[in-house]
Amino acid sequence: MKIQGKNGRGLRALAVGAVAVSSALVLTACGSDDNTKANGGDAGKTAPGNIKCGGKGQLLASGSSAQKNAMDLWVKNYQQACAGTEINYKDIGSGGGITEFLQGTTGFAGSDSALKPEEVTESKKICKGGQGINLPMLGGPIAIAYKLSGVDDLVLDAPTLAKIFNSEIKKWDDEAIKKLNPNAKLPSTEIQPYHRSDESGTTQNLGKYLKASAPDVWKYEAEKSWPAKGGQSANGSSGVAAQVKQVEGAIGYFELSYATSAKLNTVKINTGAATPVEATSENASKAIAAAKIVGKDKDLALKLDYATKAEGAYPIILVTYEIACDKGNKPETLESVKSFLNYTASEDGQKVLAGAGYAPLPAEIAAKVREIVPTLS
């Protein structure tokens, strides 16, 4: 698999490691020349503790709830190494994070979709002499999770999924679902679809998948706000996951780590490939590997292929960006932003992702991010 850059160069996808890294990862104190070792969590291996600390005081950031579990790991590891910096990340959704960034109240924003052209224009008011740029930091599958007694293996395709979320299919024993699951004992339980109540890049990426793969059914434009009528809503990925976990017949969408932590069954997607594809970090990486870089200069916005039929490629994917100014960052937090984002894009920062249900960046994309972060000013 390759990622084609804007100059047509092939980028090799980083293989997702099979080593699970626990949230108890301990990094030793760092300095500008720190070459100490850190324990690798459950794997029992050591990894270089190469965090280069920078800046002091509090760094505020907000945005994507899809990356919250990864951000918790990153913040814990970074602050154990860099005690002089306190990082406060609020998972208020991609839309809220971009709003706060454009108001100048945060050092960076997390978003599951790239800045729109009008948002880039608005960012120039905050980024004096520069503008906001998209720095991809992690990828992953958007899991479709459900609660249905007696059914622990479920396959859906894009048209059926679109009809469920559009309130057109209302019973679990609908003929369209039965056709995709001939061996399942599907009950006549009412389907309870849940969506995000807040503005969310996860919602937008699901919309892009449904629009690309089921255009005859899903007529809505992909926006951060949920477009369809019907269904029930909850705030954040954690809120939707909590509702799906407790409501019989429920179905919802959120980042894979929420499904894993809640021990929820997830849907396999019939993409037209030989075998339905499960939501895993490795399968998401296969789809992300087909992305194209569409950003210019220091901006690394990606275009994802939501309609992929490649074997083993899970199509409902997202890439979360950290959004910062290329120039004109706030002087009091600039060094902290650069230091923290350099860690999250580093090999050590990316290693923790696979064990947490995320897909690390393709190797050469991560390298590009590491080239750009030190140039922020």
State the pTM of this model: 0.78
- Name all contacts of 216-221 with Cβ < 8 Å and 24+ positions apart: 216/159, 217/158, 217/159, 217/162, 217/163, 217/166, 217/168, 218/158, 218/162, 218/166
Domain boundary among 257, 283, 309: 283
**Is beta strand 250-255 parallel, antiparallel or unpaired with respect to 108-111?**
unpaired
Q: Answer yes or no: is 278 within a domain.
A: yes
pLDDT at 364: 78
Q: How many other C-beta atoms can be found within 10 angstroms of the C-beta atom of residue 83? A: 11
Look up residue 208 and give its two tokens: 């892009």
pLDDT score recorded for residue 31: 32
Confirm whether 297 is domain-assigned.
no
Same domain, yes or no: 213 and 123: no
pLDDT at res. 48: 38
Cβ neighbourhood burial of 13 (10 Å; 0-12, 13-18, 19+): buried
pLDDT band at 32 (very low <50, low <70, confident <90, very high): very low
Most confident of 14-28, 188-202, 350-364: 188-202
Does residue 9 carry a pLDDT above 70? no
- On whether both 31 and 97 belong to a single domain, the answer is yes
277 and 359 part of one domain: no
Structure tokens, 241:
């996951």
Spatial distance between the Cα atoms of 158 and 293, rounded to a whole number of angstroms: 25
Same domain, 172 and 77: no
* Tokens 């019907």 -> residue: 230
| Mean pLDDT (the chain, rounded) | 87
- Give residue 241's pLDDT band: very low, low, confident or very high (50, 70, 90): very high
Q: Is the pLDDT of residue 370 over 80?
A: yes
Backbone angles phi, psi at 71, to 5 degrees: -65, -35
Q: Supply φ then ψ for residue 87, to 5 degrees.
A: -105, 125
Instruction: Answer whether residue 291 is part of any domain.
Output: no
User: 90 and 219: one domain?
Assistant: no
Average pLDDT over residues 8-27: 34
In a domain, 317, yes or no: no
Residue ending a domain, among 283, 308, 333, is: 283
Instruction: Based on the fold, state whether residues 56 and 117 are members of the same structural domain.
Output: yes
* Shared domain check, 278 and 151: yes
Say if residue 128 is in the same domain as residue 157: no
Any domain includes 66: yes
> Cα(367)–Cα(370) distance, rounded to whole angstroms?
5
| Euclidean distance between CA atoms 359 and 143, whole angstroms | 13
Does position 235 have pLDDT exceeding 90, yes or no? Answer: yes
Confidence of residue 357 (pLDDT cuts 50, 70, 90): confident
Structural domains counted in the chain:
2
Burial letters 119-143, b for 16+ CB under 10 A, else e: bbebbeebbeebbbbbbbbbbbbbb
Of all residues in the chain, what percent carry a pLDDT higher than 70? Answer: 87
Looking at the chain, the whole-number percentage of residues with pLDDT higher than 90 is 80
Residues 154 and 276 in one domain: yes
Q: What is the CATH number of the domain that holds 223?
A: 3.40.190.10
- 157 with 269, same domain? yes
Residue 13 has what pLDDT? 36
Q: What is the reported pLDDT for 49?
A: 56
In a domain, 314, yes or no: no
Tell me the average pLDDT across 76-101.
95
Encoded amino acid at 367, one letter: A
Burial of 274 (0-12, 13-18, 19+ CB in 10 A): exposed
Span 248-307, pLDDT tens digits: 999 999 999 899 999 999 999 999 999 999 999 999 989 998 888 899 999 999 999 999
pLDDT, tens digit (0-9, with 9 covering 90-100), for 116-142: 999 999 999 999 999 999 999 999 999
Least confident among 121-125, 233-237, 247-251, 362-366: 362-366
Instruction: Report the pLDDT value the prediction gives residue 80, as an integer from 0 to 100.
Output: 94
| Mean pLDDT of the 4-11 span | 38
Q: How far apart are CA 362 and CA 66, in angstroms?
A: 19
13-27, 143-157, 350-364: lowest mean pLDDT where? 13-27
Q: Would you say residue 70 has pLDDT above 80?
A: yes
Other C-beta atoms closer than 10 Å to the C-beta of 238 total 18
Query: What's the burial of 262, exposed, middle or buried (CB within 10 Å: 0-12/13-18/19+)?
Result: middle
Residue 100 structural domain: 14-138+322-375
Which of 231, 263, 283 is where one domain is finished?
283
Residues linked to residue 38 through DSSP beta bridges, in sequence order:
47
Q: Is residue 298 part of a domain?
A: no
Domain match, 248 and 191 both: yes
Residue 25: pLDDT band (50, 70, 90) is very low
Let me know whether 147 and 250 are in one domain.
yes
In terms of residues, how long is the chain? 377
Q: Residue 5 has what pLDDT?
A: 40
Start-to-end CA span in the chain (Å):
34
Write out the DSSP string of 151-182: ----EEEHHHHHHHHTTS--BTT-HHHHHH-T
Please tell me the least confidently modeled range out of 15-19, 149-153, 169-173, 263-267. 15-19
307 in a structural domain: no
Q: Are 134 and 299 in contact (CB under 8 A)?
A: yes
